Structure 1
């Protein structure tokens, strides 16, 4: 029991780290900010708050939308919002993603980043402990519309990009590439990994609390039974 929990936690954090690494790859490609970062820039520009604060607020709002669309808010949803940022800082501070020397290596870095983002999503979402805000929105819309990942994710990224541009966020060629291709890359990676994000039955925080209580009650019953037999 404990071994399975530890393996699931390890898989969860490996997934978070891969997502963070992928995000830094996209940033370090120097071809332009990712679509959601353009959105955060636009919110920051219009409101005067920092980009980091804008990211947190937007994330919280999307979580609310996810819940309204029927997605469970799990432990991984909360941990995603905390540790993705922490891992990004660690990766960036330690220069774990080299800066490209030219446009070609920048493009390669961008593609590698999107692959890592996709693989990280498979790892952490496969734990069934909840989705991050934006991944949760993708899954919710996928379930509602029955459309493929490439279309749903592509529309989400393009939507975030367009709103970000309207709000004053800055873009680059990499931004356009990411918005148009991330959904396709995710679909390819999901297919290779035989992963269907719409069929994962995530456990909510309440489900996990109930599960822990049941496990503790069983442990107590076993102890009491041993004591009575003695």
Structure 2
């Protein structure tokens, strides 16, 4: 869909257009973290994983961004029994989103009026959709949470939609119990992020002229 290819980690690096893809990956991950900061400052509800991370923040002597890195690393470890291989983008996702979130919390003011909080919420969800499309479109590997879901689907035979719903409801419930913010922003995020990412993806997928199927030999020069 939209020119996305199913690549091994090695293919991701050898598929061509690497400088542009690395730049796009970095931009997408920065915008992703920054968009979460906008939702945090709006105080109107977060996405399921952010609710969990905000709940854990109450228990750990860490910044919000550091908790995001920690959760991403734990999720990545869960790839091991699933025999999933992370790409460069997967590892970068774990390491980069948290610092970008902390930067956003540092530079963004907390809006006081309800109108500004709503504006932050809507802008944060839209920007998160753009950022998701941008980093996925770099074709350098999925984020750790997406990879966990696709890995579970491959190993269990369950539908991706069922597993995604089950995982996100679980992390949302745990985060809510721990004190994470659930609200209208949570609903808006859940309903909007998929369609938004798909909508923007058509413009940001990097074409890969050198993609070859796994196991296919290099063409012999004529």
Say if 1:126 and 1:139 are closer, same or farther in 2 by CA, change over 3 A: farther
Q: Which has the greater radius of gyration? A: 1
- Cα RMSD for the two superposed structures: 3.5
Q: Which is helix-richer, 1 or 2?
A: 1
TM-fit CA distance, 1:79:
1.3
8 A contact 2:54–2:181 mirrored in 1: no
Task: State how far apart, in whole Å, the 1-side matches of 2:148 and 2:57 are.
Answer: 22
1:38-49 matches, within 5 Å, as 38-45=51-58, 48-49=60-61
1:150-165 matches, within 5 Å, as 153=164, 155-165=166-176
TM-score by length of 1: 0.66
Which of 100, 112, 115 is the equivalent residue of 1:87? 100
Partner of 1:216: none
Partner of 1:12: 25
Count of equivalent residues: 191
User: Does 2:74 align with 1:64?
Assistant: no
TM-fit CA distance, 1:133:
1.9
Structure showing greater relative contact order (alpha-carbon pairs closer than 8 Å, 6 or more residues apart): 2
Which of 75, 88, 96 is the equivalent residue of 2:88? 75
Unpaired stretches in structure 1, ≥5 consecutive residues: 196-206, 208-230
Unpaired stretches in structure 2, ≥5 consecutive residues: 1-13, 203-213, 215-222
Q: Which moved more, 1:34-43 or 1:80-89?
A: 34-43
User: Does 2:183 align with 1:173?
Assistant: yes
